[in-house]
A and B are shown apart, each in its own frame.
Chain A
């Protein structure tokens, strides 16, 4: 194994080694970057990861399909509901089932809320890392509202586990829609305030423009997806390109950048939040009452009321929990547009209760792998800006 530490001989001279992480305020989780500096210029950056590796894929092989849902919360923990949606969509593709319309609409609703929450954190924290503290406070107030909404819907703020295979864990409660409507107005105002602080701020421009620029060809070659790819000028968004959950019926635009630098990524994320607000507004307008779980006793658990009062339902519950669902033999890859990019689940089923192999394709791993390329020759302060704009979430990176 190649050693990262340098020999005494190599250290003689002007070079300096700086360890960024594994515990550093701007590493957003536990990851480590060994920077080799000449003055303030980065000559080499070696990313080290795996500090948050929990073996999610290995664990998945010994858990039933339903039991895997809580593990998906812990992938990108800034927008856990989207991981729930992505995973259950993959299993539903394997089962070849359609979920009820209301369940689809609520999934879109919470996914877009999660996208806003994720982008708020990314933009706000990126600004804090660079030195602009105020915008962060405006944004985090809105994130609190989103987490309040998640708490109402799922009973949990961060680790939501809101979806189930075939629908949702439960319907959204009373009071959810009015609060969301209020949020739509307030979030729009907060975004305006944030933009007033940042978009035309000359210091913000100096710190972000031209930093981490990437060409569209390089971005595709590196495997970029999500806002980072779109900032480079590639209009690839799975919600438009390969629609799922009825995204084709919503009216929204895909913002794209031109240079792919930190400033463009900021602009793309800001506009995506506004577009998400548009989608949420449309969902609220068309939300109709109905079931939120498929009407299929082979997939859906019976209601608790029936389990405790009827023999058949108790047996049915027991069978589903102990023996699992009847899964077809085969393999599927299903991808959804998560906040960071394409979140893919590749599931191989041998017909058993547990998946034979479950693979999570994390969007930020290919993006983070380009880190050295992005910061080489730049200043050490820019490394922080680039890392923040990549929105590397260690839980998703290491799995």
Chain B
């Protein structure tokens, strides 16, 4: 239903779509995110449930930023995926949805994806001096030697705070 609306009103936006176990997914391009969000908002998808990301290191566009939407009136759910390459940024939704503020900070913290226009893009779960982004597939499971890396600015570097 909603997918047809997006397709009709913003032709060419949806690059891929699939339906698995009743979960509707659309893949859109990075440039069209705000237009799609605006349309979704007008169509009743006013509940932004979640923002997260998935890392596919072998892909050219390495990350998928994944948004989950809920329509409170019809209880319809929609997943919107935006592929981004390493170093590219996505438009922030924090201005439209207050809940996006911390979710985007978390994605930035754990994946290193930047959100353009975010009012306060800081790390959320790890500390400010933390090296790397923990949920990237190339980040070691044991966390690596986070305190004593070369040029490290972590708080316990040789007992001195830098």
Q: Contact: B52 with A346, CB < 8 Å?
A: yes
Contact A331 B25 (CB under 8 A): yes
**Contact, CB under 8 Å: A333 / B79:** yes
Asked whether A278 is an interface residue with its Cβ less than 8 Å from the other chain, the reply is no
Q: How far is the CA of A369 from the CA of B120 in the complex (A)?
A: 13
| Alpha-carbon distance between A365 and B134 when the two chains are bound, in angstroms | 19
Does any Cβ of A come within 8 Å of B32's Cβ? no
Which residues of B are at the interface with A, using a C-beta cutoff of 8 A?
Answer: 20-21, 23, 25, 46-50, 52, 54-55, 66, 68, 72, 75, 77, 79, 97-99, 101-103, 106, 110, 120, 122-129, 134-135, 139, 141, 143
Q: Which A residues are in CB contact (< 8 Å) with B127?
A: 50
Q: Is A145 an interface position by the 8 A CB rule?
A: no
Contact B99 A222 (CB under 8 A): yes
- Cβ–Cβ contact B21 & A50, under 8 A: no
Q: When the two chains form their complex, are residues A223 and B135 in contact, meaning their CB atoms are under 8 A apart? A: no
Other-chain residue from B21, B79, B129 in contact with A93 (beta carbon distance below 8 A): B21
What's the nearest-Cβ distance from chain B to residue A390, in Å?
Answer: 14
Quick one: given A1-B128, A223-B47, are A333 and B23 in contact (CB under 8 Å)? yes
A366 proximal to B (CB < 8 A): yes
The reply to whether A369 and B102 form a contact with Cβ atoms under 8 Å apart is yes
A50 x B134 contact (CB < 8 A): no
Q: Are B20 and A49 in contact (CB under 8 A)?
A: no
| Interface secondary structure of A, over-half rule | mixed
Q: In the complex, what's the smallest C-beta–C-beta distance from B94 to chain A, in angstroms?
A: 10
**A359 interface residue per 8 A CB criterion:** yes
Known: A49-B124, A57-B135. A344 touches B50 (CB 8 A): yes
Cβ-based interface call for A234 (8 A): yes
Residues of B within 8 A of A376 (CB): none
Cα-based distance from A373 to B127 in the complex (angstroms): 23
B98 and A50 contact, CB distance less than 8 A: no
Minimal Cβ-Cβ distance residue in B for A397: B125
Cα–Cα distance between A58 and B127 once the two chains are bound (Å): 17
Distance in Å: Cβ of B20 to nearest Cβ of chain A: 4
| Cα of A396 to Cα of B17 in the assembled complex, Å | 32
Q: Are B21 and A330 in contact (CB under 8 A)?
A: yes
In the complex with contacts A49-B125, A330-B21, A344-B49, A241-B75 CB distance below 8 A: yes
Contacts of B134 in A (CB 8 A): 55, 58
Give the CA-CA distance A331 to B20 in the complex, in Å. Answer: 7
